[in-house]
Structure 1
Amino acid sequence: MLDIIQQDKILLTYLNNLGSEKWDFLWLSITNQLSWSPLFVLIIYLVFKTFGWKRGGFALLFMILLVAFSDQFTNLIKNSFERLRPNNDPEIKYLLRTLISPQSYSFMSGHATTSTFFSVFVILLLREQYKYVYALLIFPLIFAYSRLYLGIHFPIDIFVGILIGIIFGNLYFLLFKKIERRFFL
């Protein structure tokens, strides 16, 4: 297990040091959730366009609950494992290009988990109406990579976050369909 942790640190150091000052502003913007507001507005528009006000509102409520659940679940995991963020890890913090310095724990990435969870749910929700909805997978991949670029998550944090996001997105969609059938069909 220790070897995996060491390899994780080596991979992060390599990936993080590929960065360049001229791109820092872009990655700082990408990691900010507010920068993605136009995408979220588009998704909300498509949900209401597809399902109407009543079912669309129900789907939107489910999306809001998804983000709240994912955030709390991620915090529970982080506080259980208490893995230091790379920018706080005394072994490698001086080897990294660090542009921000969060003090919370690292494992698992909330950005990777929630963005993947949200994207998978939205794709499953809209895949029958919009064939290009799968392009939404670009969002969590870029969003998650920004955390490596900034030196505030390890690759394992990102990988596990994406994996959990995929699993939760699928399970949450099944729950949504079950509840939706009860109220709308």
Structure 2
Amino acid sequence: MDELKAIDQALFLELNGYHNPFWDAVMVLISNKYVWFPFYGVLAGLLIYFNKRRGLLMVLCLGASVGLADFISSGILKPYFARLRPCHDQLINANVNFVDGCGGLYGFVSSHAANAFAVAIFVIFLLPKKQWVFKGLLLVWAMAISYSRVYLGVHYPGDITAGALIGVGTAWLSIYIYRLLSKKYVYWQQ
């Protein structure tokens, strides 16, 4: 375990070491959850518009996916593991470039990564196969949000990876529930 932590720390310091004022501003913007609220609203609106009642079920299941990902990452794992964020870790924080504050004390796992991947993977599973461009954009979006957390000095790459896996898992679970409910209740088919 110590070797994994050392690799995670070394990778973090490498990735976090590249900064300039332009990218600092971009990463702060990308990482700001409030910036994405209009996107979430448009996404929910499009799901409902194109899918009618099933769209409402999609939005409810998507919300459940994100809520579960956030609860697991912030409510359970961060307090359980109590792993300090890089910017709070006295052993390395002198070498950390943190641009926009440090956030809470603990960082394992990244809620930003969990939530972004919960949204991206859920929507990717709903989209038809021919929508590969939009699917690719969703993945790039989730990866950009995740990388921004390392760039800003508030998460190790391992925090991001674990968060992304949680997001993928909750998305799969929510897709399964969505498919079950949409088949079981004819109401959602209309």
Q: Quick one: structure 1 residues 119 and 162, their matched pair in 2 at CA, closer, same or farther if it must change by over 3 Å?
A: same
For residues 164 and 71 of structure 1, the distance between their equivalents in structure 2, rounded to whole angstroms, comes to 9
Within the alignment, does 1:14 sit opposite 2:14 as a pair? yes
> 2:88 matched to which residue of 1?
88
Taking the aligned partners of 2:71 and 2:105, their CA distance within structure 1 comes to: 14
2:4 corresponds to which residue? 4
* Distance in 2 of aligned mates of 1:65 and 1:51: 18
* Amino acid across the alignment from 1:81: F
* Residues 141-166 of structure 1, C-alpha deviations (whole Å, 9 max, x = no match): 00000000000000001111112222
1:177 to partner: Cα distance: 0.5
Cα gap change, 1:118 to 1:129, in 2 (>3 Å) = same
Alpha-carbon distance change, 149 to 29 in structure 1, aligned in 2, over 3 angstroms: same
Query: Could you tell me which of 179, 182, 185 is aligned with 2:181?
Result: 179
RMSD (CA atoms): 1.6
Contact residue 61 and residue 177 of structure 2 kept, 8 A: no
- Map 1:34-183; keep pairs closer than 5 Å: 34-52=34-52, 54-75=53-74, 76-99=76-99, 100-128=101-129, 130-134=131-135, 135-183=137-185
Distance 2:140 2:146 in 1: 10
Query: Once the two structures are aligned, what percentage of the paired residues are identical?
Result: 28
Residues 66 and 170 in structure 2, CA contact (< 8 A), matched pair in contact too: no
Q: Which structure 2 segments of 5+ residues have no match?
A: none
Q: Distance in 2 between matches of 1:143 and 1:45?
A: 22
Give, in whole Å, the separation in 2 of the partners of 1:73 and 1:153.
17
| 62-71 vs 107-116, which moves further | 62-71
Aligned mates of 2:14, 2:41 — CA distance in 1: 35
1:47·1:126 contact (CA, 8 Å) conserved in 2? no
Q: Secondary structure at the match of 1:120?
A: helix
Task: Report the TM-score when normalising by structure 2.
Answer: 0.89
Q: Per-residue deviation at 1:83?
A: 0.3
Matched residues in 1 for 2:10 and 2:131: separation? Answer: 40
CA distance in 2, matches of 1:94, 1:45: 45
* TM norm structure 1: 0.92
- State the SS of the aligned residue for 1:151: coil
